[in-house]
């Protein structure tokens, strides 16, 4: 019922803005399909069209809003929260809602500020993952094969990330890549080193070049070296910044307040313009648009590429960019 009410409010906002439809996708949590159905019921009650892209990582929902007829999207996901949690990541006409815009949804529900249409909208279905994989593989092919281990923690990235990384030329060993909303092996949160233990052991055992871990909805990335050392996201951001600035001298690079103070000097030394900003994917994306930054990152493992990509946080695409950099470096 709550999902339907949220759908009615979002649909009302879309109608008010003259927007005709919205993309909806959901993660692998047990509650997600029912929430998606309720949300769609509310949306179509306002007369808008729902483009249902099914069970996909959050970045694939964002991707669909840049590569379909609709520029708005909702990802139903609890991200890295416990299995019985769930939520909605909402983007309207390219803008991710946050703060007062979220509380406004509650206020509209409470005050029944909802438009109902005499002619309901429709739900259309589309498979977008092959297009997502093709787009990335057209952009990235690694210079030499890398042996990698991918741990998806039974989150929804398991259905996409291994396929993307294989398609760009990596040899992929999978661990916990079957989607299971009970998360039976470990919690899908790569920012907690306890969740990386099995990945580290398998990387060492197989002699892999690198280990990659994703959170529950695929918008964050964790990295371990061949020696089993955890590489923190602000260190990865240094590597990404250096790479992006090689092609875009003077570009703005955004990082959140939790990152190391060494980032500022690193970005300056490589000819970039460092900008420290507030934590939060919606806040970072808004700042990127304002400053025309080519790259942004957060200590939580969110990476946002505007160069060659769309400016949204995508752990899977970030993993592909990381392999591209590693494969281009001298071996060893």
Residue corresponding to tokens 């993952």: 129
Separation of alpha carbons 254 and 266, rounded Å:
12
Neighbouring C-beta atoms of residue 51, cutoff 10 Å? 24
DSSP 254-310: EEETTS-THHHHHHHHTT-EEEEE-SSHHHHHHHHHHHT-SEEE-TTSBEEE-TTS-
Nearest to 153 by CA among 174, 123, 133: 174
| Cα distances (angstroms) measured from residue 278 to each of 118, 296, 299, 305 | 43, 12, 11, 17
For residue 12, the surrounding DSSP H or E stretch is helix 2-16
Separation of alpha carbons 172 and 316, rounded Å:
13
Separation of alpha carbons 144 and 146, rounded Å:
6
Look up 79 and say whether it is catalytic.
yes
Give the three-class secondary structure for 67: coil
Separation of alpha carbons 209 and 171, rounded Å:
10
Catalytic residue among 32, 72, 79, 159: 79
Catalytic annotation, residues: 79
């Amino acid at each position: 019922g709550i999902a339907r009410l949220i759908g009615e409010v979002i649909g009302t906002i879309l109608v008010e803005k003259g927007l005709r439809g919205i993309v909806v996708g959901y993660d692998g949590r047990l509650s997600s399909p029912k929430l998606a159905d309720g949300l769609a019921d509310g949306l179509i009650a306002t007369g808008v069209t729902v483009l249902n892209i099914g069970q996909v990582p959050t970045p694939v929902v964002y991707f669909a809003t840049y590569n379909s007829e609709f520029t708005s999207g909702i990802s139903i996901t609890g991200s890295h929260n416990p299995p019985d949690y769930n939520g909605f990541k909402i983007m309207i006409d390219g803008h991710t809602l946050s703060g007062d815009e979220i509380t406004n949804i509650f206020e509209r529900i409470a005050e029944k500020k909802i438009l109902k249409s005499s002619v309901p909208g429709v739900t259309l279905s589309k498979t977008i993952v092959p297009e997502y994989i093709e787009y990335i593989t057209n952009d990235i092919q690694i210079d030499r094969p890398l042996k990698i281990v991918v741990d998806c923690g039974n989150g929804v990235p398991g259905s996409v990330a291994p396929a993307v990384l294989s398609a760009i030329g990596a040899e992929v060993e999978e661990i916990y890549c079957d989607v299971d909303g009970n998360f039976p092996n470990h919690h899908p949160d790569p920012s907690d080193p306890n969740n990386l233990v099995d990945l580290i052991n398998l990387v060492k055992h197989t002699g892999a070049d690198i280990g990659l871990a994703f959170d529950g909805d695929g918008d964050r990335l964790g990295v371990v070296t061949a020696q089993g050392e955890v590489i923190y996201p602000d260190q990865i951001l240094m590597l990404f910044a250096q790479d992006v600035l090689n092609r875009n001298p003077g570009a703005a690079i955004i990082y959140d307040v939790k990152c190391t103070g060494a980032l500022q000097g690193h970005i300056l030394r490589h000819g970039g313009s460092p900008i420290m900003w507030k934590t939060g994917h919606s806040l970072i994306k808004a700042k990127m648009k304002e400053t025309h930054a080519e790259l942004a990152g957060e200590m939580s493992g969110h990476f946002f590429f505007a160069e060659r990509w769309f400016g949204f946080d995508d752990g899977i695409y970030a993993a592909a960019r990381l392999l591209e950099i590693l494969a281009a470096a001298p071996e060893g």
